[in-house]
Amino acid sequence: MNYQRDVMNAAVVNFKPDAGNKKNNLKRIVEFSIAAAKRGADLVVFPELCLTGYDYFVSEKIELSEKLAMAETIEGPACTSIVEVAEKYGIYIVFGMAEKLEDSAKLIYNSAIAVGPKGVIGSYRKIHPFDSENKYFVKGDTPFLFDTPWGPISIGICYDTYQFPELMRYYVSKGSRLYLNPTAVIEEIPKEGSRQAFLNYYGPTLEYGVLCNTIFVASANLTGYDDTSYFGGGSAVIGPKITPFFETDVAYYAGDKNNVQEGVYLATIDLSLAKRRLMDDTGAAAEPDYRPELYKKFI
């Protein structure tokens, strides 16, 4: 097949981490991936740092040496196990883990690893670590797209997505029609109004990405208690929908921003709805509306 496909089955996983228990988390990542593949998933997205849980890598109680020992390379046993599933079922899997490099064992990245039918594809290293993450994680510096039969698929992690719209816009300019958001967004229980505060932040920022860029977004969040933090779930596949209006509207194709139940949420999506009108030579101007060369002069 030598043309770009449009229709795919995309799955996201509301994942409850077993705090610091890499073996058990890996087992469940593998099993959720197999279950999603048997339901027809072409792509499965897991949350940020799901291999260990988020709290392990921001806790001040855990020594850096222990964090380094817990981190893995993309050639390590975790990736190897997940690659076996991707190869067997012919699917793509993206999951969050703490990544270290073979030649620099003292550095850790907050990474999203992409694997596919032909093995490990590579890793996106979070460009904007959030708050205390900066004590332990090195800042990444490179956007990441990987080629698929559906064209280039892009990745950002959590804070990258919600506060730095430049990244998603860059990916759209490179032809991405699907953006993946492995994330770890906390719901601050037992504070009064915590769920509404979560929804006011999480949902609208993702929806704005769709409205602003006419792109599909697959967001996978941790859910329930990790070690000390409670995560808000809400994993979903969202994107543009057909309307009688020129303006873009948003549809939830799978999952629900209100949902905290652990599980796989899968939908068939049509990426041809991701019109790149900001980037194409269309409209009265007869040239792209997106003008990155001009924006560089603002800095």
Residue 228 lies in a domain: yes
Where residue 62 falls among pLDDT bands split at 50, 70, 90? Answer: very high
Q: Is residue 2 part of a domain?
A: no
* Sheet with 153-155, side-by-side order of all strands: 145-146, 153-155, 178-183, 216-221, 236-241, 249-255
Confidence check: pLDDT of 51 > 60: yes
pLDDT-above-90 percentage for the chain? 88
What is the Cα–Cα distance from 246 to 282, expressed in whole angstroms? 14
How many angstroms separate the most distant Cα atoms in the chain?
59
- Number of domains present in the structure of the chain: 1
Can you give the CATH number for the domain in which 244 is found? Answer: 3.60.110.10
In a domain, 95, yes or no: yes
Q: Cβ distance 214 to 276 under 8 Å?
A: yes
Query: For position 93, what pLDDT does the model report?
Result: 98
Residue 5 has pLDDT above 60, yes or no: yes
Averaged pLDDT for residues 87-115: 92
Range of the domain at 128: 7-298
Question: Looking at this protein, which amino acid is placed at residue 22?
Answer: K
Tokens representing residue 122 in the block: 């590579």
pLDDT band at 277 (very low <50, low <70, confident <90, very high): confident
H or E segment to which residue 218 belongs: strand 216-221
Confidence of residue 246 (pLDDT cuts 50, 70, 90): confident
Band of pLDDT at residue 61, cut at 50, 70 and 90: very high
Mean pLDDT, rounded, for 247-251:
92
Q: What is the pLDDT of residue 281?
A: 82
Does the residue 1 lie in any domain?
Answer: no
